[in-house]
């Protein structure tokens, strides 16, 4: 099984996308950065914010918490139980941030193996400082989002697509028919890599006729995608056609 991220980097897939969607749209936000990075744990920050974003939406729209903590690279029932317990108490942002960091680290280690150096840092004073910086970063970005209070009629949190494509893929959120991706990059550009990945998500959703969210199949004809740049508090929205790249197990 190939991941969508891997597939989206192949020349064959990109040529197929160009034939269906046209050449990549390269957009850039004309907006100053609002949340300057305080931590060097860039990948962990992005993964943690993705969880935090889902927690915020689930709380705001009264959605199930279990779909927020379905780990990308492995299921951890203890983490899911902890999330349900914590969130059922309607705790504050600080608790949600701590849980998001934990879930992101579980995802990271499940995919890459245990990082011994990072674990040792967590057990030291240096690790405390690193986590404080990460938490401060997340707090700034989620506060920026909370000030905007996203308004949508149809929202559901999903983490996998239907169909037997032989391609592993997940996406954080669907809002009013748009596939939503969050990023904590300092550079507010819609890059070619991101374009092709989101076109892949769009094609998968079209081919499957929907997505699975919280254990339920939800019919969906995606309109396009949205990329939310968390450090800027701004989004880029792209409308796409109702046709996609045909994906199959042997693509």
One-character DSSP codes across 204-225 = HHHHHTEEEETTEEEE----EE
How large is the average pLDDT for residues 193-215? Answer: 83
User: Regarding predicted confidence, which is higher, 223 or 59?
Assistant: 223
- pTM recorded for the entire structure: 0.83
Phi–psi pair at 68, nearest 5 degrees = -75, -25
Please name which of 157, 48, 182, 40 lies closest in space to residue 102, comparing C-alpha atoms.
Answer: 48
CA 241 to the chain's CA centroid: 22
**Which two tokens mark 110?**
């499940």
Q: Where are the domains of the chain?
A: 2-29+152-239, 42-146
User: Regarding predicted confidence, which is higher, 208 or 244?
Assistant: 244
User: Regarding predicted confidence, which is higher, 224 or 204?
Assistant: 224
Please name which of 194, 224, 228 lies closest in space to residue 206, comparing C-alpha atoms.
Answer: 224
The contacts of residue 219 (CB under 8 Å, 6+ apart) are 209, 210
> Residue 216: which pLDDT band, with cuts at 50, 70 and 90?
confident
Instruction: Give the CA angle between residues 35, 66, 88 to the nearest 5°.
Output: 80
> Residue 230: which pLDDT band, with cuts at 50, 70 and 90?
very high
Please name which of 109, 56, 55, 53 lies closest in space to residue 84, comparing C-alpha atoms.
Answer: 55
Phi–psi pair at 172, nearest 5 degrees = -70, -50
Place of tokens 């993705």: 50
Give the helix, strand, coil percentages of the chain, each rounded to 5: 45, 15, 35
User: pLDDT averaged over the chain?
Assistant: 78
pLDDT tens digits, residue range 8-37? 899 999 999 999 999 898 888 888 999 999
Please name which of 130, 133, 117, 228 lies closest in space to residue 172, comparing C-alpha atoms.
Answer: 228
**Please, is 21 exposed, middle or buried when counting C-beta atoms within 10 Å of its C-beta (0-12, 13-18, 19+)?**
buried
Instruction: Give the model's pLDDT for residue 159.
Output: 55
Instruction: Give the model's pLDDT for residue 243.
Output: 86
> Residue 96: which pLDDT band, with cuts at 50, 70 and 90?
confident
């Amino acid at each position: 099984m190939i991941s969508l991220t891997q597939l989206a980097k192949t020349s064959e897939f990109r040529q197929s996308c160009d034939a269906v969607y046209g050449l990549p749209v390269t957009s850039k936000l004309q907006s100053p950065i609002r949340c300057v990075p305080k931590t060097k744990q860039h990948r962990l920050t992005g993964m943690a914010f993705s969880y935090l974003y889902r927690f915020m939406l689930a709380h705001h729209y009264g959605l199930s918490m279990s779909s927020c903590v379905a780990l990308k690279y492995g299921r951890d029932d203890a983490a899911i139980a902890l999330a349900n317990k914590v969130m059922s108490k309607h705790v504050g942002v600080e608790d949600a941030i701590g849980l998001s960091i934990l879930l992101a680290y579980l995802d990271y280690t499940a995919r890459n193996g245990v990082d011994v150096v990072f674990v040792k840092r967590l057990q030291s004073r240096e690790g405390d400082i690193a986590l404080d910086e990460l938490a401060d970063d997340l707090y700034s970005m989620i506060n920026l989002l909370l000030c905007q209070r996203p308004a949508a009629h149809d929202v559901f949190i999903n983490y996998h697509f239907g169909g037997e494509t032989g391609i592993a893929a997940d996406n954080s959120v669907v809002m009013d028919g748009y596939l939503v991706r969050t990023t904590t990059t300092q550079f507010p550009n819609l890059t070619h890599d991101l374009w092709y990945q989101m076109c892949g998500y769009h094609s998968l959703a079209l081919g499957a006729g929907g997505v699975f969210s919280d254990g339920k199949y939800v019919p969906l004809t995606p309109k396009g995608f949205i990329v939310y740049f968390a450090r800027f508090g701004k989004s880029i929205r792209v409308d796409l056609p109702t046709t996609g790249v045909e994906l199959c197990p042997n693509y």
